[in-house]
């Protein structure tokens, strides 16, 4: 881990530790929790998109699998929540493993099409299998019990998710600097060149896809327990797009960019709620302007500018 | 048996024609600028919604239709000039997000301006159904097929018989070489985006009397048009038309014989199966690696 990364991580820890004491009310705490949840998902998605250079327009599908596993298995079959979370992750992982090979034979727009299709099919299953999933109306999720404790208050949830976020950042920073991370960046640069120096590109593409699917699935389960309710919207095409947007606006292949992207784009719709009706237009315009003027994303662009200033 | 099959086939071909027009829009934009335009579906929505609006404000039908085609074409041109052109060196993902941002802006403006309601258009020439081997054919279906066929025929003529069309094809093969022989490539971009907007709008106007329209009607049709373009192999005009009809027919058959709840999932299952076995679509060329 570089010195800058270590400082960055410490700043994040400090902010997370102070936040619950300065936020004025439960509404802001709720927004902060959602930001942290999205940040964890975006960290794992950025491994796939930013570092390995493989686009996924259907990642919300894996969030959906985790969320519905945590809703359906305890409700209909009496599973303990942790086992349901594990089962969801297992299903996501196996599905990712099965489709990874044929999907990664595809490039560019064809890969975008295939992952988009996968996500849409999953969302439709959640919407249509009403007997299990409650259909478009959604389904209630039981509270999450951990080691005999029930998570009920916002504060408890905040500390759990803040801790998960710190752990994810630490793990991602280490992973990026490991041989695994270097291999991913190599295959992003040139697949043929990395094969020539002995990188098994299949192995790495499949591994990073499965890893990001697992991350999304676990966070889907966590979201379901936190919100206490799941609707098919969690697996929607639009949610997939939101996640990709967080990656790209924050900065591809940038760990701290993932955080910035998640925080900004989770906060933005809340801030725009005042502009009744105009929020879609403003959200869309901000996406376009960021990509036109900062195509590398906020954090890498600003970092480059700072370095030039030195 | 036959009557039922024909009924499914008619509705499949009709909706497939709309997909084909959308897929042609995707193809034109892809060939001109290597961008997948996720706002293509909004052109379809604009066509339907604008026709409804202009008719309601008292304009005669031909004028309403003309405006409902011209405005989306202009929106396409604006999109290219002010959003795609300044970012043309950006990553594929960045370009995809720009077009998604554009689709949100268009959808949002229409939602504020014309509301969230669902709107209908009267069929162009009456509602007396035509009986054909026991299946009923609505007159509007003939309009959809006839106009689509005419549009495809004129596009074919434009691209294979006129200098302007050929210069667009040349640019899609190699923009640099096209510039060297004196083709104005920025004019090519202009025409391609305008045509993509107009084609989407035409599809939207034709299908609205059958399927109704609303501010968010473009999302699904647009994505299915993308599926159709990929089925045919991105960049192939013939592939887009065949892909559109194929996707429409398979969807209608699956909805009729298998499950209508999963009607909208059919194109996506289809595209996954096709891509797994033919990674460049049915009509796409061989996969080559550029190192």
DSSP letter string, A172-215: HHHHHHSHHHHHHHHHHH-HHHHHHTT--HHHHHHHHHHHHHHH
Most distant CA atoms of chain A, gap in Å: 61
Collapse the DSSP code of A274 into the 3-class scheme (helix H, G, I; strand E, B; otherwise coil) and give the result.
coil
pTM, full prediction:
0.87
| The pairing of beta strand B130-132 with beta strand A149-150 | unpaired
Q: What are the structure tokens assigned to A309, written together?
A: 């200033």
Q: Most confidently modeled of A59-68, A173-182, B169-178?
A: A59-68
Substitution target in B86, B93, B232, B260 with the highest count of A β-carbons within 10 Å is B93
CATH assignment of B2-277, among 1.10.8, 1.10.3470, 1.20.120, 2.40.10: 1.10.3470
Residue B274, pLDDT above cutoff 50 = yes
Q: Which of B:219-258 have CB within 8 Å of A?
A: 219, 223, 226-227, 230, 234
Q: Average pLDDT of A81-92?
A: 93
Q: How far apart are alpha carbons B288 and A102 in whole angstroms?
A: 17
Asked if A170 and A9 touch (Cβ cutoff 8 Å), the reply is yes
Report the share of chain B in percent with pLDDT over 90.
56
Distance from CA of A285 to the nearest CA of B (A): 6
CB pairs under 8 A between A and B: 132
Residue A119, pLDDT above cutoff 70 = yes
Q: Average pLDDT of A228-242?
A: 90
Nearest residue to B188 (alpha-carbon basis) of B12, B34, B5, B67? B34
Q: Does B114 touch chain A (CB under 8 A)?
A: no
Q: Please measure the distance between the N-terminal and C-terminal CA atoms of chain A and give it in whole angstroms.
A: 22
Domain ranges of chain B: 2-277
Cβ within 8 Å of residue B128, ≥6 positions away: B139
Query: What confidence score (pLDDT) does residue B284 get?
Result: 62
Determine, for residues B111 and A283 on separate chains, whether the beta-carbon distance falls below 8 Å.
Answer: no
Fold of A3-309: ABC transporter involved in vitamin B12 uptake, BtuC (1.10.3470)
Q: What is the mean pLDDT of chain B?
A: 89
Q: Most confidently modeled of A113-117, B239-243, B260-264?
A: B239-243
B291 pLDDT tier (thresholds 50, 70, 90): very low
Q: Average pLDDT of A31-40?
A: 95
Residues of chain B with C-beta less than 8 angstroms from the C-beta of A49: 93
Q: Pick the more confident residue, B71 or A108.
A: B71
Q: Pick the more confident residue, B281 or B191.
A: B191
Q: What are the structure tokens assigned to A16, written together?
A: 């997370």
Determine, for residues B97 and A291 on separate chains, whether the beta-carbon distance falls below 8 Å.
Answer: yes
Q: Most confidently modeled of A71-80, A137-146, A175-184?
A: A71-80
Residue B290, pLDDT above cutoff 60 = no
Left (φ > 0), alpha (ψ -120 to 50) or beta: where does A213 sit? alpha
Residue A293, pLDDT above cutoff 70 = yes
Residue B264, pLDDT above cutoff 60 = yes
Distance from CA of A307 to the nearest CA of B (A): 22
CB-side neighbour CA atoms (13 Å) of A271: 8
Asked if A93 and A210 touch (Cβ cutoff 8 Å), the reply is yes
Which pLDDT tens digit goes with each residue over B3-30? Answer: 889 999 999 999 999 999 999 999 999 9
Q: How far apart are alpha carbons A198 and B233 in whole angstroms?
A: 32
Q: What residue of B is the nearest CA neighbor of A128? A: B261
Q: Which of A193-207, B236-250, B264-278 has the lowest mean pLDDT?
A: A193-207
Q: How far apart are alpha carbons B275 and B232 in whole angstroms?
A: 11
Collapse the DSSP code of B212 into the 3-class scheme (helix H, G, I; strand E, B; otherwise coil) and give the result.
coil
Query: What confidence score (pLDDT) does residue A148 get?
Result: 65
Q: Does B275 touch chain A (CB under 8 A)?
A: yes
Residue B228, pLDDT above cutoff 90 = yes
Cβ within 8 Å of residue A186, ≥6 positions away: A193, A194, A197, A199
B128 pLDDT tier (thresholds 50, 70, 90): confident
Query: What confidence score (pLDDT) does residue B260 get?
Result: 82
Residue A97, classified by CB atoms within 10 Å of its CB into exposed (0-12), middle (13-18) or buried (19+), is middle
**The dihedral sign for the CA sequence A51, A52, A56, A60:** negative
Residue A188, classified by CB atoms within 10 Å of its CB into exposed (0-12), middle (13-18) or buried (19+), is middle
Which pLDDT tens digit goes with each residue over B67-89? Answer: 999 999 999 999 999 999 888 77
Q: What is the mean pLDDT of chain A?
A: 88
Determine, for residues B279 and A295 on separate chains, whether the beta-carbon distance falls below 8 Å.
Answer: no
CB neighbour burial string for A35-65, b if at least 16 within 10 angstroms, e if fewer? bbbbbbbbbbbbbbbbbbbbbbbbbbbbbbb
DSSP state of B30: H
Q: What are the structure tokens assigned to B149, written together?
A: 């066929």
Q: Which of A267-276, B34-43, B57-66, B197-206 has the lowest mean pLDDT?
A: A267-276
**The dihedral sign for the CA sequence B205, B209, B215, B217:** negative
Determine, for residues B94 and A121 on separate chains, whether the beta-carbon distance falls below 8 Å.
Answer: no
Give me the phi and psi of A150, to 5 degrees please: -100, 130
């Amino acid at each position: 881990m570089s010195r800058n990364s270590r400082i960055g991580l410490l700043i994040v820890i400090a902010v997370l530790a102070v936040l619950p004491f300065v936020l004025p009310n439960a509404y802001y705490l709720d927004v902060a929790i959602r930001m942290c949840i999205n940040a964890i998902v975006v960290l794992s998605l950025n491994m796939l998109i930013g570092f390995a250079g493989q686009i996924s327009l259907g990642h919300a599908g894996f969030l959906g699998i985790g969320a519905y596993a945590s809703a359906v298995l305890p409700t209909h079959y009496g599973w303990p929540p942790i086992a349901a979370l594990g089962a969801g992750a297992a299903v996501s992982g196996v599905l990712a493993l099965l489709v990874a090979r044929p999907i990664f034979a595809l490039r560019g727009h064809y890969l975008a099409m295939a992952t988009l299709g996968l996500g849409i099919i999953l969302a439709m299953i959640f919407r249509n299998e009403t007997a299990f999933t409650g259909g478009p109306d959604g389904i209630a999720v039981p509270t999450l019990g951990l080691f005999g404790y029930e998570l009920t208050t916002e504060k408890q949830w905040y500390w759990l998710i803040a801790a998960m976020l710190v752990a994810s950042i630490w793990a991602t920073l280490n992973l990026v600097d490991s041989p695994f991370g270097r291999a991913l960046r190599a295959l992003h640069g040139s697949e043929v060149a990395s094969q020539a120096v002995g990188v098994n590109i299949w192995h790495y593409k499949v591994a990073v896809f499965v890893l990001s699917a697992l991350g999304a699935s676990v966070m889907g389960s966590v979201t379901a327990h936190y919100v206490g309710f799941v609707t098919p919207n969690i697996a929607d095409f639009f949610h997939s797009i939101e996640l990709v947007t967080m990656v790209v606006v924050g900065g591809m292949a940038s760990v701290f960019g993932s955080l910035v992207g998640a925080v900004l784009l989770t906060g933005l719709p809340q801030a725009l709620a005042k502009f009744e009706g105009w929020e879609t237009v403003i959200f869309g315009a901000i996406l376009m302007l960021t990509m036109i003027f900062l195509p590398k994303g906020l954090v890498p662009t600003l970092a480059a500018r700072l370095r030039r200033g030195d | 048996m036959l009557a039922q099959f024909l009924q499914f086939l008619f509705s499949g071909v009709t909706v497939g024609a709309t997909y084909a027009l959308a897929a042609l829009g995707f193809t034109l934009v892809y060939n001109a600028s290597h961008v997948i335009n996720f706002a293509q579906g909004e052109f379809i929505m604009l066509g339907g919604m604008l026709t409804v609006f202009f008719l309601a404000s008292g304009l005669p039908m031909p004028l309403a239709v003309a405006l409902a085609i011209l405005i989306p074409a202009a929106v396409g041109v604006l999109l290219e000039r002010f959003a795609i052109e300044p970012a043309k060196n950006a990553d594929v993902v960045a370009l995809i997000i720009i077009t998604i941002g554009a689709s949100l802006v268009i959808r949002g403006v229409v939602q504020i301006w014309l509301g969230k309601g669902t709107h209908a258009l009267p069929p162009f020439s009456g509602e007396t159904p035509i009986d054909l081997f026991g299946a009923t054919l609505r007159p509007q279906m003939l309009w959809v097929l006839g106009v689509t066929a005419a549009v495809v025929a004129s596009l074919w003529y434009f691209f294979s018989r006129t200098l302007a069309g050929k210069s667009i094809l040349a640019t899609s093969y190699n923009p640099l070489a096209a510039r060297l022989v004196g083709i104005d490539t920025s004019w090519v971009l202009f025409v391609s985006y305008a045509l993509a907007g107009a084609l989407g709008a035409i599809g939207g106007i034709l299908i609205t009397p059958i399927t109704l329209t609303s501010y968010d009607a473009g999302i699904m049709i647009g994505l299915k048009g993308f599926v159709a373009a990929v089925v045919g192999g991105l960049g192939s005009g013939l592939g887009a038309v065949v892909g559109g009809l194929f996707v429409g027919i398979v969807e209608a058959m699956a909805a009729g014989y298998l499950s209508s709840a999963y009607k909208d999932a059919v194109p996506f299952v289809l595209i996954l199966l096709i891509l797994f076995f033919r990674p460049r679509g049915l009509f796409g060329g061989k996969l080559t690696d550029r190192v």
